[in-house]
Copies of this chain bind each other. A is one copy, B any other.
Amino acid sequence: MVINHRMPRNEEGIATVAGVLKQQFGDRFQTGDAIREQHGHTTTWLENQWPDAVVFAQNKNEIAAIVKVCATHKVPVIPFGTGTSLEGHVNAPAGGICVDVMQMDKILAVYPDDLSCVVQPGVTREQLNTHLRDQGLFFPIDPGANASLGGMAATSASGTNAVRYGTMKDNVMAVEVVMADGRIIRTAQRAKKSSAGYDLTRLMVGSEGTLGLFSEITLKLQGIPEAISSARCTFPSVDAACQAVMQVIQYGIPVARIELLDALQVKACNAYSKLDLPEEPLLLLEFHGSDAGVIEQAEMFGSIAADHGGGGYASTTSTEERNKLWQARHDAYWATLQLRPGAMGISTDVCVPISRLAECVSHVQKRLKTDGFISPIVGHVGDGNFHCLLLVDMENKDEVARAAAFVSWLNDLAISMDGTCTGEHGIGQGKMPYLERELGAATVDAMIAIKRALDPDGIMNPGKVVRG
Interface residues of A (CB under 8 A from B): 111-116, 155-158, 162, 166-167, 169-170, 179, 183-200, 202-203, 205-207, 211, 222-223, 225, 246, 249-252, 254, 290, 292-293, 296, 349, 351-355, 383-385, 414-415, 418-427, 431, 434-435, 438-440, 442-447, 449-454, 465-466
Q: Which 6 A-B pairs have the closest CB atoms?
A: A453-B453, A202-B202, A113-B355, A194-B420, A191-B351, A190-B418
With a CB–CB cut-off of 8 A, which chain B residues contact A465? 197-198
Apart from A116-B353, A187-B443, A195-B424: 18 A-B pairs, beta carbons within 8 A: A113-B250, A113-B353, A113-B354, A115-B249, A156-B199, A179-B442, A185-B443, A186-B439, A190-B353, A193-B385, A193-B423, A196-B421, A197-B435, A197-B444, A198-B206, A198-B451, A202-B202, A450-B450
Contact status of A189 and B443, CB under 8 A, knowing A156-B195, A250-B113, A449-B454:
no
Q: Once the chains bind, are B199 and A431 in contact (CB under 8 Å)?
A: no
With a CB–CB cut-off of 8 A, which chain B residues contact A355? 111, 113-114
How far apart are A59's CB and chain B's nearest CB, in angstroms? 18
Contact status of A466 and B195, CB under 8 A, knowing A111-B353, A189-B438, A450-B450:
no
The complex places the Cα of A203 from the Cα of B250 at a distance, in Å, of 29
Residue in B114, B115, B439 whose CB lies within 8 Å of A197: B439
How far apart are A464's CB and chain B's nearest CB, in angstroms? 10
How far apart are A458's CB and chain B's nearest CB, in angstroms? 14
With a CB–CB cut-off of 8 A, which chain B residues contact A352? 191
Q: Once the chains bind, are A199 and B202 in contact (CB under 8 Å)?
A: yes
5 intermolecular pairs with C-beta atoms under 8 Å apart: A115-B249, A184-B442, A192-B383, A449-B453, A450-B454
Copy count, this protein chain: 2
Q: Once the chains bind, are A419 and B113 in contact (CB under 8 Å)?
A: no
The complex places the Cα of A410 from the Cα of B461 at a distance, in Å, of 41
The complex places the Cα of A4 from the Cα of B111 at a distance, in Å, of 39
Q: Once the chains bind, are B202 and A203 in contact (CB under 8 Å)?
A: yes
The complex places the Cα of A191 from the Cα of B350 at a distance, in Å, of 9
Residue in B207, B222, B419 whose CB lies within 8 Å of A191: B419
With a CB–CB cut-off of 8 A, which chain B residues contact A445? 183
Q: Once the chains bind, are B155 and A193 in contact (CB under 8 Å)?
A: no
With a CB–CB cut-off of 8 A, which chain B residues contact A225? 252
With a CB–CB cut-off of 8 A, which chain B residues contact A440? 185-186
- Residue in B closest to A163 when the chains form the complex, CB atoms: B192
How far apart are A318's CB and chain B's nearest CB, in angstroms? 22
With a CB–CB cut-off of 8 A, which chain B residues contact A450? 198, 203, 450, 453-454
With a CB–CB cut-off of 8 A, which chain B residues contact A155? 195
With a CB–CB cut-off of 8 A, which chain B residues contact A447? 197-198, 200
